[in-house]
Amino acid sequence: MSSIELQNVSRWYGNVVAVNDITMSIGPGVTGLLGPNGAGKSTVLHLIAGFLAPSRGKLTVGGVPSWRNPDIYRTVGLVPERDSVYAFLTGEEFVRSTASLHQLADPPAAARRAIAIADMAQAQDRKISTYSKGMRQRIKVAAALVHDPQVLLLDEPFNGMDPRQRLHMMDLLTKLGAEGRTILLSSHILEEVEQLADTIQVIVSGRLAASGDFRAIRRLMTSRPHVFLVRSSDDRRLGSALIGRPAVTGIELTRGGLQVQAADFGAFSRELAGLARDQDIRLRELLPEDESLESVFAYLVES
């Protein structure tokens, strides 16, 4: 019910194709929309939020198209990227007005609750023009949450936040996602999304490059070697034994340990333990070097 469905959605401006034939389905939980700057993440978010019409394709939120349909905002909350808020209102007035516009039964109470969730209770009676950038982000989140939406769309939500605010926001989003809401956030900062998102959708140059669990995506790309860091009782001997195996494509002896490039992750992991035992070498640590989203990203972009 609270799912977002895109089917062959494209959006172009004259000769420039911003979103190119994207088909994806977003369900409950936290989904990260990833991609380099200019890839089309904001465009996709605006399309889903009903602030842009698809040039082609079908796009529905909870079963209904979002374009020209103000009623979807009863279940959808949007936190736009642009810094613009009504600067002359206080935080509380802004959230309360939004609650009234959502035709809620008790706007002041809803506003108070939403502001508490966004941890803005201390500053709520100050004019928004006096807020820092991170505070503005949080009051925007409060306004987007005031009507208790099932779907929450956030465009670069961590922009301008300091580490403490970022942690708080991540906790909040995790909690909301665990409650069964559909949270979609866009970012080009990989560390944030890595910790937060259960699923990712990677958009590169307007196309959907990958979707799903990022570890699973990683494993799908067997054309690139995996890099592991192995620490053992005798790295050099282990290295010379490993280089003889077909699953291993490169060895480097570094101060931190043995850096192994393996083309076939499965075969390598099966063989490493047996090899170490045969050579009488104690394995101390085996770490994947590049399983962070960073390298997923970089590989996707480069390929």
Partner 1 sequence: MTMNAKFNTVVASITLRAVFGRKRAILFAIPPLILLLVTLLLKAARPPGAPWPGRILGDFGFSVILPLTALIIGTSVLGAEIDDGSIVHLLATPVRRSSVILTKFCVGAVLTMAFVAVPELVAGLIATSGASKLALGLFVGALVGSVIYNAVFVMLSVLTTRAIAVGLLYVLIWETVLGNFVSGARVLSVEQYSLGVANAIAHDKALNAGLTLTTALIMGVIVTIAALVYATRRLSEFSLKGDAV
CA–CA separation, 64 and 81 (whole Å): 24
Rule CB under 8 A: say whether 189 interacts with partner 1.
no
Q: Judged by CB under 8 A, which of 30, 34, 49, 172 binds partner 1?
A: 49
Amino acid at residue number 203:
I
CA–CA separation, 271 and 27 (whole Å): 39
Rule CB under 8 A: say whether 43 interacts with partner 1.
yes
Residue 19's alpha-carbon distances to 39, 43, 57, 122, in angstroms, are 8, 7, 11, 41
Rule CB under 8 A: say whether 112 interacts with partner 1.
no
Between residue 271 and residue 300, which ones bind partner 1 under the rule CB under 8 A? none
Beta strand 226-232 pairing with 199-204: unpaired
Q: Which stretch binds partner 1 (CB under 8 A): 36-44, 166-174, 176-184, 193-201?
A: 36-44
Min. distance of Cβ 146 from partner 1 in angstroms?
10
Q: Judged by CB under 8 A, which of 3, 21, 57, 74 binds partner 1?
A: 74
Beta carbons within 8 Å of 82's beta carbon, 6+ residues apart = none
**213-217 long-range CB contacts below 8 Å, 24 or more apart?**
214/293, 214/296, 215/291, 217/296
Report the residue number, 100 or 279, with the smaller CB distance to partner 1. 100
Q: Judged by CB under 8 A, which of 8, 23, 25, 51 binds partner 1?
A: 51
Q: Judged by CB under 8 A, which of 28, 80, 225, 257 binds partner 1?
A: 80
Q: Which two tokens stand for residue 2?
A: 């609270």
Q: Which stretch binds partner 1 (CB under 8 A): 35-43, 57-65, 256-264, 268-276?
A: 35-43
Rule CB under 8 A: say whether 126 interacts with partner 1.
no
Q: Which stretch binds partner 1 (CB under 8 A): 23-31, 96-104, 194-202, 271-279?
A: 96-104
Alpha helix ranges (H) inside the chain: 41-48, 91-101, 107-117, 133-145, 163-178, 190-196, 214-220, 235-242, 265-278, 293-302
Rule CB under 8 A: say whether 16 interacts with partner 1.
yes
The crossing angle, in degrees rounded to 10, of helices 107-117 and 91-101 is: 120
Q: Which stretch binds partner 1 (CB under 8 A): 25-33, 55-63, 77-85, 282-290?
A: 77-85
Contact yes or no for 9/54 (Cβ under 8 A): yes
Q: Judged by CB under 8 A, which of 102, 224, 231, 245 binds partner 1?
A: 102
Report the residue number, 149 or 225, with the smaller CB distance to partner 1. 149
The DSSP line for 278-293 is HTT--EEEEEESS-SH
Q: Which two tokens stand for residue 144?
A: 């987007």
Rule CB under 8 A: say whether 91 interacts with partner 1.
no
Q: List contacts with partner 1 (CB under 8 A).
A: 13, 16, 18, 37-43, 46, 49, 51-53, 68, 70-71, 73-74, 76-78, 80-82, 84-86, 88-89, 94, 97-98, 100-103, 140, 143-144
